[in-house]
Structure formats: C-alpha cells, structure tokens
A = this chain, B = another copy of it.
Amino acid sequence: MNTEFGTYLVTQGSRSRGRTTEDVVAAAIDGGVDIVQLREKGATARERYHLGRALREQTRDADVTYLVNDRVDIAAAVDADGVHLGDEDLPIAAARDVLGAEAIVGRSVSSVEAARHAVQAGADYLGVGAVYATDSKDVHEEHAEIGTETVAAIADAVDVPIVGIGGITAANAPDVIQAGADGVAVVSAITVADDPEDATRELANAVREATTSIDR
C-alpha cells in the first residue's frame, strides 16, 4: 500500500459552517489533502450514498485516497478505496470479504493492546486517538484523551501506518508526527476553518516539515 497518510480529512457537513461537504472537500483537495474519509454522522445511509458518489468523483479526479467511515456497503457502493472501522463495526476480515483484497481497511484504536489486536486482524493502518481532548463528541467515537505518549507507544508496537486523530491542529500536529504518527486526521481544523483550503495547506505544511525533520 503506497497510500500517503500525511493529511487526512474526515467530513462532517453538520460542522462545516453551512458549507457543503463537496465544497469543503474541494477546498481540502486544493490545499493538498492526502485522504478524505466520508463520515457524516447523523446522515442516513441514503444521504451518505449520494454524497459519497460525489466525493468519489472529486477524489478520483484529484488522485486522493477515499475512504468511508463504518459502512462497508456504502464503501462498496460508491467504489471507495476502503473503509475505516470502529469497535462496533464489522470485523476487519468481514469487511475485506465484502470489499476485496485490494481495499484499504483502517481501524480506530486507543491503546497498544487494541492496536496489536487490530494489526493481527489485518488492519492496513490505524486511526489513533483521541490524541487531544476534542469538543466534537457528536462526531467522534474517540472520546478519551490518550496523549502523544500513547501515540508513541502504538507507533513502537506496530508496523502499519498510524494516523493521529482528535483535537489536532497545525500547531500541535508536529508533536503528533514527532511522537511517531505517519499523519494526522482532522474534522474541525478544516471543516470550521475560515478558509478550509488555507487550513489544509497549513496543516499539510506542518506535517511535512515535522516528517522531514524526523527523517534527518
């Protein structure tokens, strides 16, 4: 899997200041986002399907990796590149059975033990969080703040890419990368920004600089 995990947008139209998710995604693409995940908690499957098809066109045109949160069937129906699963979702192997061997299957974890378990179960990457406390409890499964220490411990424990999520901004993203994350996933830092394109670029630059400083 050659996917870049640097800057990862999780969509949530209800937290996008009246902007459509299509507009937020277009701005994020222009700003250099690497991955877009269709989340949209609270929307019906039907709504997510129709929005999901639109995002598939946008991300395909831009060569941006495109994942769907939770719902393997929506991922399959919109021809996403994969799915991101939590504790209450289908098991990783079941998702892969439905989506095929090439699909990217990610998994949310909050501990070293869960991370090891997810990798043994076949996760291609891990979403690790909440790194920092977040006020977007309505749209996150990850509530408990685990801090960069746990990010570092998980990065040491597993060999798959890990993406920090939860309360991440351009200001603290370097700490998350320094701790060992391959990328950072955000909702609000892009969706509620005054300028989502600028916000994405700022975040992507912060991630890139931190990554480069580690490589040295």
Contacts from A to B (Cβ < 8 Å): 44-47, 49, 70-74, 76-77, 87-91, 94-95, 97-98
Contact = CB atoms under 8 A, between A and B. Distances in A.
Nearest to A76: B98
Contact of A90 (B46, B88, B95): B46
A45 B98 contact: no
Contacts of A44: 88-89
A90 B44 CA distance: 9
A98 B73 contact: yes
Given A73-B71, A73-B76, A45 B97 contact: no
Nearest to A87: B46
A50 to B, nearest CB: 9
A45 B74 CA distance: 14
A49 B71 CA distance: 13
Nearest first, the 6 closest Cβ-Cβ pairs linking A and B are: A72-B73, A73-B73, A44-B88, A77-B94, A76-B98, A45-B89
How often does this chain occur in the complex, in copies? 2
Contacts of A76: 72-73, 97-98
Given A46-B90, A77-B95, 8 more contacts: A45-B70, A45-B89, A49-B90, A72-B76, A72-B77, A73-B90, A76-B97, A77-B90
A72 B45 CA distance: 11
A174 to B, nearest CB: 35
Nearest to A70: B45
Nearest to A88: B44
A81 to B, nearest CB: 16
A59 B44 CA distance: 30
Residue among A45, A46, A73, A97 facing the most chain B CB atoms (10 A cut-off): A73
Contacts of A95: 73, 77
A71 to B, nearest CB: 6
A182 to B, nearest CB: 27
Contact of A46 (B47, B71, B77, B89): B89
